[in-house]
């Protein structure tokens, strides 16, 4: 493409934005609103996902062993499975200490060994078995691993926070799916809005288009300024959305940190940079796609 | 230059706009297409600049049958066949100079080429002094001349004019038609659709008369609006 053609096209698109100032402004505002909503959904989804995975990561399977079981063999059998990340031996004494702590048993002894002895005496023996603490690679596999572990000889019982884990996993999956669906709906809405706006612009400039067609401009030549106009609008909308979302998110993060300590929001610069980049990319794609869609109808020749 | 062979046009709503028209116009010729409103004048011109395709028959322009021209080739035909309309179709927020240059812009002309051709064309239509004015500051006759300048600036071999004097008073009309005749005199094929009886009679050029889509008369040199 020749340089003066590029210059002409850029000038045409810019003129389009300026001349149809109000319509352009409406388009930019619409895109910004759509992207803010879309971005908010994405941020919420990312955080729910993040929380779910944090919880799920903490999820472990406790494999209780029979008294005479070969610990090393069972450990090896579990670690032989690809889904298992870790299988740590937890002795019955350690379990006893943890249990005592959990129920808030107050003992005057600071030394762990003596404490164990004291509790054992109190209870007349340690009722707890030795166990293995198994961590999965993917929390989704917990039920499967548990089922397999039960079959290993020497395993007395397998326990995991069945209900909690499964609920969390369902929540994580649900967030993924509903986020995707919402995202798609918002995406389609944004596309429609941009398409309508560009159609208005095209309508406002139909005379010019007609003249261009009559003096022999190719369809691409006519399209490019409108496409660029859509891209400009998409870009501007995305920038506004970022300017609104990032400070709002940062504010929300500060508030939640202060007041709701048990919630951990994602706050890595990297993630937010990717997010901002994604918004800009969405704006660009929506802008271009929206105008392309409405142009297709308008520029059809015999 | 322009050859219509057994051309018929039926619009999607069933209206028969043209029936079996045979018309041959040579290079550099000046011809009037006459007839009442709805007789098919505009349809005939639209066939030549490929705004519509014929239902039947061939339309040959500059040796090329354009009846089945694919849409993406249409812009290249339009660079050879330009059109002037009754309603001028100028861009209101561009100056006269820019309006004429616009036709070169869309063809990717260089700045130098524009600065060479636009003043030349404006001079040809007698509007050199109005180059920086806006269309609304010009009279109707002047606006039509800008429109003609825009059509001529890339030197097309064919110029079509659809009722170019429809919005003009008799004096202005006469000037415009004189201008078109001059252009034809320089080798451009000019076809003008009109129902202005006075102009047709005064010019005494070739007259092709349409009645309800049928070509009823083709009077060569010295044609009159009404059949003798």
Long-range contacts of the stretch A50-54 (C-beta < 8 A, 24+): A50/A264, A50/A265, A50/A266, A51/A263, A51/A264, A52/A168, A52/A169, A52/A171, A52/A172, A52/A175, A53/A139, A53/A172, A54/A264
Q: Sort strands B214-219 and B206-211 into parallel, antiparallel or unpaired.
A: antiparallel
Map residue A239 onto helix, strand or coil: helix
> Token digits for B213?
């889509």
Give kind and range of the element (H or E) at residue A132: strand A131-136
How high is the pLDDT of residue A208?
A: 81
Are A98 and A176 found together in one domain? no
Alpha carbons within 13 A on the beta-carbon side of B156: 32
pLDDT at A118: 82
Q: Is A14 on the interface with B (CB under 8 A)?
A: no
CA atoms within 13 A on the CB side of A148: 18
* Closest CB to A215 among B50, B78, B111: B78
Of A142, A161, A180, which residue is a domain's last? Answer: A161
Question: Would you mind telling me the total number of residues written for chain B in this entry?
Answer: 228
As a whole number of angstroms, the distance between CA A109 and CA A86 comes to 32
* More reliable by pLDDT, B76 or A97: B76
> What is the overall mean pLDDT for chain A?
79
Distance CA B222, CA B203 (A): 8
- Partner-chain residue, chosen from A218, A221, A302, that has the shortest CB–CB distance to B53: A302
**What does the alpha-carbon distance between residue A208 and residue A217 come to, in Å, rounded to a whole number?**
11
What whole-number distance in Å separates Cα of residue A197 and Cα of residue B28?
Answer: 46
Radius of gyration over alpha carbons of chain A, in Å? 31
Residue A241 scores a pLDDT above 70: yes
The stretch A126-149 carries a mean pLDDT of: 82
Q: Mean of the pLDDT values across residues A276-294?
A: 85
pLDDT, tens digit, for every residue of A49-69? 777 767 666 777 888 888 877
CATH no. for residue A146? 3.30.70.3040
The pair of structure tokens assigned to A159 is 């326990």
Backbone angles phi, psi at B92, to 5 degrees: -65, -25
**Which tokens is B151 given?**
């059509």
- Asked whether residue A288 carries a pLDDT value surpassing 60, the answer given is yes
Last residue of a domain, one of A161, A190, A225: A161
Instruction: Kindly determine whether residue A210 and residue B108, on different chains, have CB atoms separated by under 8 Å.
Output: no
Based on the domain organization, do A178 and A51 belong to the same domain?
Answer: yes
Across A173-189, average pLDDT: 78
| Mean pLDDT to the nearest integer, A278-298 | 82
Contacts of A212 in chain B (CB under 8 A): 106
Provide the domain limits for residue A131: 59-161
Same domain for A265 and A174? yes
**pLDDT given at position A43:** 82
Q: Once rounded to an integer, what is the mean pLDDT over residues A289-295?
A: 79
How far apart are alpha carbons A70 and A68 in whole angstroms? 7
Helices (H), chain A: 3-19, 21-58, 71-79, 92-103, 112-123, 142-151, 162-204, 206-214, 219-259, 269-298
A47 and A94, same domain (yes or no): no
User: Quick one: tokens of A190?
Assistant: 């944004």
- Comparing CA positions, the residue from B69, B57, B46, B45 lying closest to residue B19 is B57
Give the Cα separation of B83 and B72 in Å (integer): 19
Average pLDDT of the residues in A261-279: 78
Q: Is residue A302 pLDDT above 50, yes or no?
A: no
* Whether residue A102 sits in one domain with residue A30: no
pLDDT in tens, B35-54: 988 899 999 999 999 999 99
Which residues does chain A have within 8 Å of residue B100's beta carbon, measured at their own beta carbons? Answer: none
Q: Please determine, for residue A263, whether its predicted confidence score (pLDDT) is greater than 70.
A: no
Please, are residues A31 and A237 in contact by the beta-carbon 8 Å criterion? yes
Separation of alpha carbons A205 and A209, rounded Å: 6
Verify that A172 and A155 share a domain, yes or no.
Answer: no
Which of A109, A138, A161 is where one domain is finished? A161
Same domain, A28 and A171: yes
DSSP codes, A100-114: HHHHT---S--SHHH
Contacts of B137 (CB under 8 A, 6+ apart): B130
Going from the N-terminus, what domains does chain B have, and what CATH number goes with each? 28-45+70-219 (3.40.50.300)
Contacts A215 to B, Cβ<8 Å? 78-79, 82, 102-103, 106-107, 150-151, 154
Q: Do B109 and A4 touch (CB under 8 A)?
A: yes
Cβ(B32)–Cβ(B48) below 8 Å:
no
The answer to whether A120 and A175 have CB atoms below 8 angstroms apart is no
- In terms of CA atoms, which chain B residue is nearest residue A299? B71
pLDDT exceeds 70 at position A301? no
* pLDDT tens digits, one per residue of B116-145: 999 999 998 999 999 999 999 999 989 999
Mean pLDDT computed over A229-250: 89
A80 and A35 within one domain: no
Angle at A128 between CA A123 and CA A129, to 5 degrees: 150
Would you say the C-alpha torsion A181, A182, A183, A189 has a positive or negative sign?
Answer: positive
- How many domains is chain A partitioned into structurally? 2
Q: For residues A113-138, give the mean pLDDT.
A: 83
Percentage of residues in chain B having pLDDT higher than 90: 66
ipTM > 0.85 (yes/no): no
CB atoms within 10 A of CB B161: 27
Mind giving me the DSSP string for A32-99?
A: HHHHHHHHHHHHHHHHHHHHHHHHHHH--EEEEE-TT--HHHHHHHHHTSTTEEEEEEE-HHHHHHHH
Looking at the fold, whether A225 and A104 belong to one and the same domain comes out as: no
CB within 8 Å: A216 and B83: no
Of B52, B106, B111, the CB nearest to A217: B106
Half-sphere exposure of B63 (CA within 13 A, CB side): 1
Per-residue confidence (pLDDT) for residue B2, from 0 to 100: 93
Q: Say yes or no: A289 and A204 in one domain.
A: yes
Distance from CA of B149 to the nearest CA of A (A): 12
| Residues A283 and A212 grouped into a single domain | yes
The fraction of chain A above a pLDDT of 70, given in percent, is 89
Measured in angstroms, the CA of B223 and the nearest CA of chain A are apart by 30
Same-domain check for residues A238 and A294: yes
List of residues 6+ apart from A96 with CB closer than 8 A:
A116, A119, A120, A126, A128
A9 touches chain B (CB under 8 A): no
Task: Report mean pLDDT in 10-residue bins for chain B, 228 residues.
Answer: 93 90 93 91 94 92 90 90 90 91 88 92 92 93 92 92 90 91 92 92 92 90 76
Task: State the pLDDT at residue A2.
Answer: 66
């Amino acid at each position: 493409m020749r340089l003066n053609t590029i210059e002409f096209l850029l000038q045409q698109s810019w003129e389009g934005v300026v001349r149809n100032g109000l319509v352009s402004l409406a388009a930019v505002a619409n895109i910004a609103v759509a992207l803010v909503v879309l971005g908010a959904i994405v941020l919420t989804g990312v955080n729910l996902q993040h929380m779910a995975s944090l919880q799920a990561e903490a999820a472990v399977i406790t494999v209780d062993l029979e008294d005479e079981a070969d610990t090393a063999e069972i450990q090896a059998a579990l670690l032989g499975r690809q889904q298992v990340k870790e299988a740590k031996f937890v002795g019955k004494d350690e379990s006893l200490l943890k249990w005592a702590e959990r129920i808030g048993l107050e003992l005057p002894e600071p030394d762990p060994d003596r404490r164990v002895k004291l509790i054992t005496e109190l209870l007349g023996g340690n009722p707890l078995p030795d166990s293995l603490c198994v961590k999965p690679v993917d929390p989704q596999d917990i039920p499967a691993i548990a089922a397999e572990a039960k079959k290993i000889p020497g395993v007395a019982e397998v326990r995991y926070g069945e209900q909690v884990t499964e609920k969390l996993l369902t929540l994580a999956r649900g967030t993924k799916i509903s986020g995707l669906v919402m995202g798609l709906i918002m995406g389609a809405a944004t596309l429609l809005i941009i398409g309508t706006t560009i159609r208005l612009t095209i309508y406002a400039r139909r005379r010019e288009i007609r003249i261009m067609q009559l003096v022999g401009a190719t369809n691409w030549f006519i399209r490019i300024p409108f496409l660029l106009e859509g891209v400009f609008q998409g870009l501007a909308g995305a920038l506004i959305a970022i300017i609104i979302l990032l400070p709002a998110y940062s504010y929300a993060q500060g508030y939640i940190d202060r007041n709701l300590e048990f919630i951990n929001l994602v706050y890595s610069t990297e993630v937010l940079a990717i997010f901002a980049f994604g918004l800009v990319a969405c704006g660009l794609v929506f802008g271009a796609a929206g105008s392309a869609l409405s142009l297709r109808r308008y520029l059809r020749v015999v | 230059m322009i050859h219509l062979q057994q051309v018929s046009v039926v619009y999607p709503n069933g209206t028969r706009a043209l029936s079996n028209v045979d018309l041959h116009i040579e290079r550099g010729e000046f011809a009037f297409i006459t007839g009442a409103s709805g007789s098919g004048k505009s349809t005939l011109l639209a066939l030549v600049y490929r705004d519509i395709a014929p239902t039947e028959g061939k339309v040959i322009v500059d040796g090329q049958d354009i009846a089945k021209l694919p849409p993406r080739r249409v812009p290249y035909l339009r660079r050879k066949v330009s059109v002037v309309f009754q309603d001028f179709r100028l861009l209101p927020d561009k100056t006269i100079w820019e309006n004429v240059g616009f036709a070169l812009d869309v063809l990717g002309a260089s700045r130098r080429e524009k600065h060479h051709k636009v003043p030349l064309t404006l001079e040809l239509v007698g509007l050199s002094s109005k180059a920086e004015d806006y269309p609304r500051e010009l009279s109707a006759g002047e606006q039509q001349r800008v429109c003609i300048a825009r059509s001529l600036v890339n030197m097309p071999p064919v110029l079509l004019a659809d009722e170019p004097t429809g919005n003009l008073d008799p004096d202005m009309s006469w000037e415009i038609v004189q201008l078109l005749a001059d252009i034809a005199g320089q080798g451009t094929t000019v076809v003008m659709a009109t129902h202005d009886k006075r102009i047709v009679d005064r010019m005494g050029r070739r007259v092709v008369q349409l009645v309800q889509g049928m070509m009823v008369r083709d009077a060569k040199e010295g044609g009159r609006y009404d059949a003798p």
